[in-house]
Structures are given as C-alpha cells and as structure tokens.
C-alpha cells in the first residue's frame, strides 16, 4: 500500500500525527505520547512555534546554557549558547575566566558590507551591454527606492552596482554584482527584494535573467577578535613550551586541510551556539565561514598565533553576517531573551561577541590538545550522557562519577563499571 499522500499540509496537527503514526510507527501509542510531550503547555506560544515552519508536529529541544565571565573591549558579558555537545559551554566559560584576568578579549568590526547578484545570460556584444548597463545604472537604484527607503533612514541601502563578465568560465554568463549595507538586520529578504526589482528593470529582449539571489559568502562583512599577554602569564608548568606548541598547532592547521577542518569545526562550536541562541541563520554563517577559510584556494585555519618580543598573541578574522532585528530575532521569545542578556547589542556588537565565542572555543581546544589531550575533559563531560543512556539512577551516577575521578573516561570503561554495580 502506497504511503504517498496528497494534501498533507492541509491536515490538522492531530491528523498529521495520526497519519504518521499509522504509516510509519505501526500505531505505537508511545510515539504519539512522545510527540505531544514536547508541545508547549502555553497554546499561544506553541502556535507561534508552529507557524515558524511548515507541517509542524512538535518541538525539538536543544540545551540552552550560558557562559559567564567574558570581558570584551572592557565590557562584561554572559554569553547564551544553544548546543548539544558536551564540554562546549564549560570550555568557553573556563577560557573566559582565564582571559578575564589578562585583559580580556579585544575586538573590532573591519567591514559590514554584503553581496547580492543578478545572474543573467547575454549573447550579444560586450560593448553594447556595457553601454546599456551604464545608461540603466541610476534607473536600477531608483527601481528599489520603495524597498530601500526605510533601510536608508537607518544608514543602510545599496552601496554599488557593478557589471561583471564571467564569460571566460561560462559561455554568455554575466552578473550584476550589488553591494549592500543592512545595518542591524541580516537583510536576506531586503537584499533579495532589491535584486528582483533590479532584475526586472534591467531585463530586455536580449538579456535572459537566470536568477536573483543574495550571497552567503560575505568576505567584506568581517570581524576580528584577539587576546594577548606576556608568555609567562599563560601559567602552567612551562608557559614557554606551551606557547610554542600552541603556535605550532595553529601552523599545522594553516597548512594541513585535514586538521584545518576539525580545527575550524571547533571554532564553530562556539559561534553556532550563539547564532542559534540569538535566532540567526547558522547554515548561512557556516557556508560563508568555510568559503572564507578556502578563499586562497587552500582550506586553512581561521585563527592565527604568534609569539613576538615575549608577547603571546592569538586572534581570529571571520566573516559573520548577522541581525539583531527582524526574522526570528524579533519573533522567538528565547532569541529576544538572549539579545537582552547580551545587553541588546547592535549587529556589529553581536559580530564581536560571536567572534569572541569562537576564539575562546579554539583556545580551549588547542590548550587541551597540546597538554592533556582532548578526551581528558570531554569524556568527563560526556560521562553523564553515557550514564543516562544506560538508565543509571542517581545513586549509581554518583558512585560511578566518584570512581572516575582522576581516571580516564571511556564508553567501554563506564559500561563495565555500570555492569559491575548492577551485579
């Protein structure tokens, strides 16, 4: 019997769940119970969440944690983080405390422009196209005036429109390359609306518009964060050796893509957690960041390190296109709460906060890797997850946690100890 269904989106939420249970879960009552268990008891709030996407049947919870003790440009912050991975929040918190007594994090926004493109095909003479573009350039901006009016009042809008020839890479392919400033909004809808208006004004019988869309590659929407201190202030048994190994770890990530991918993933553990907590688009951020890491043609580290004149310096430059108004940032109650917790930052300030979270996460990972190893702290944090999977009660959890104090935690060792207790 076919499970293909027409009109699924028109079913009520209850009907969707019943159909799903009947066709894919053999009508298991516990499946329906689990789905409904994650509904919010506040029906108005639940309806708000239902309306975010299509075919909603429930909510999928992620842990919401906070990392205190961050000092960024002399200002104190508690950073909200939404992430499922053990040790991420703990690592960020420890590093924040570490650098809070060493001058904190210094950050600056280097640029904030974003890009959109009208992609089109033109088979005629390039000179004729260039003349046509120059004659239409002001009209293209005027065509967006109703869209850009409010953005311009806030200091944003269209900065420039260029004609780009890409025929060497694809026959008859050209672009209108448009630069935008979107101030405190991420600006996706604004940019796409402008591009469609521009495309409509630009097309003629010889110009075939293929598509009009923003780019999530934002190398000119760039933020920098760094920390520095005297080498001896790094602490530990041998701060000189630690600084040297730390820089070597960065150098390896700069030249070895296999290491760079994992290195940058660790950075994004911190950044994505704040992106999610503030209702921003982590997929767009990820795509843009990894493209930036490969802009030289070689995928490399997003962070850098040097020791010069006995000063240890560690920094990141990263593209982050963010918003603090519009979209989920204005609709999701927890996203709004996160922005309140961050003292209602502008988009630029949020860029600096997120870059700091990424740098802190990378410092924590490299410190662990070059000293005790990454598993030492990570598996301790993972211990409770393993015990929950095994169904351990509170007494068993406490006894097993005491047993593993000062010992290396592994999944097999935890299972073995748990089975011994059960016997």
Residues recognised as catalytic: 85, 265, 281, 378
Residues ≥6 apart with Cβ < 8 Å to 387: 396, 397, 400, 414, 418
User: Which alpha helices (H) appear in 25-78, and where do they start and end?
Assistant: 29-37, 43-50
Indicate the burial class of 416 (C-beta count within 10 angstroms; 0-12, 13-18, 19 or more): exposed
Distance between CA atoms of residues 68 and 84, nearest Å? 18
Strands, E assignment, 73-129: 75-82, 106-112, 114-122
Distance between CA atoms of residues 332 and 337, nearest Å? 9
Distance between CA atoms of residues 238 and 113, nearest Å? 44
Helix (H, G, I), strand (E, B) or coil at 75: strand
225: left (phi over 0), alpha (psi -120 to 50) or beta: beta
- Residue 231 in contact with residue 239, Cβ under 8 Å? yes
Distance between CA atoms of residues 359 and 268, nearest Å? 9
The structure tokens listed for 136 are 């239409």
Looking at the DSSP bridge assignments, the partners of residue 24 are none
**Packing angle of the helix pair 394-403, 411-422 (nearest 10 deg):** 130
DSSP structure string for 327-347:
THHHH-HHHHHHHHHTTS--H
What does DSSP assign to residue 386?
A: H
CB atoms within 10 A of CB 72: 21
Distance between CA atoms of residues 378 and 274, nearest Å? 20
Torsion sign across C-alpha atoms 147, 153, 154, 155: positive
CB atoms within 10 A of CB 162: 12
What does DSSP assign to residue 42?
A: S
Angle at 290 between CA 270 and CA 344, to 5 degrees: 40
């Amino acid at each position: 019997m076919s499970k293909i269904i027409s009109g699924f989106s028109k079913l009520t939420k209850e009907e969707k769940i019943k159909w799903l249970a009947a066709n894919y879960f053999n009508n298991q009552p516990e499946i329906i119970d689990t789905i409904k268990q994650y509904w919010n008891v506040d029906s108005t709030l639940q309806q708000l969440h239902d309306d975010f996407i299509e075919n909603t049947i429930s909510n999928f919870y992620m842990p919401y944690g906070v990392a205190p003790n961050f000092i960024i440009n002399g200002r104190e912050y508690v950073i909200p983080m939404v992430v499922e991975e053990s040790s991420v929040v703990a690592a960020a918190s420890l590093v924040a405390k570490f650098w809070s007594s060493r001058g904190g994090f210094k950050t600056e926004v280097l640029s904030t422009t974003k890009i959109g493109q009208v992609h089109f095909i033109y088979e005629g003479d390039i000179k004729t196209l260039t003349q046509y573009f120059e004659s239409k350039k002001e009209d293209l901006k005027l065509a967006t005036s109703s869209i850009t009016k409010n953005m311009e009042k806030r200091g944003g809008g269209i900065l420039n429109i260029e004609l780009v020839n890409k025929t060497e890479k694809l026959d008859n392919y050209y672009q209108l390359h448009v630069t935008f400033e979107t101030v405190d909004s991420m600006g996706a809808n604004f940019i796409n609306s402008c591009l469609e208006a521009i495309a409509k004004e630009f097309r003629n019988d010889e110009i075939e518009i293929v598509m009009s869309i923003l780019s999530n590659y934002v190398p000119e929407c760039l933020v920098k964060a760094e920390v520095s201190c005297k080498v001896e202030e790094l602490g530990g048994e041998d701060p000189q050796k630690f600084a040297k190994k730390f820089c070597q770890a960065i150098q390896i990530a700069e030249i070895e893509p296999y290491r760079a991918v994992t290195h940058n993933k660790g950075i994004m553990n911190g950044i994505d957690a704040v992106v999610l907590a503030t209702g921003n688009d982590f997929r767009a951020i990820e795509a843009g960041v990894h493209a930036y890491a490969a802009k030289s043609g070689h995928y490399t580290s997003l962070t850098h390190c040097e020791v010069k004149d006995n000063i240890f310096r560690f920094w990141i430059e990263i593209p982050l296109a963010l918003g603090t108004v519009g979209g989920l940032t204005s609709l999701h109650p927890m996203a709004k709460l996160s922005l309140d917790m961050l003292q209602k930052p502008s988009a630029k300030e949020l860029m600096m906060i997120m870059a700091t979270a990424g740098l802190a996460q990378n410092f924590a990972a490299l410190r662990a890797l070059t000293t005790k190893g990454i598993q030492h702290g990570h598996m301790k944090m993972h211990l409770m997850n393993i015990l929950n999977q095994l169904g351990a009660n509170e007494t068993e959890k406490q006894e097993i946690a005491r047993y593993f104090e000062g010992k290396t935690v592994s999944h097999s060792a935890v299972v073995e100890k748990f089975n011994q207790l059960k016997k």
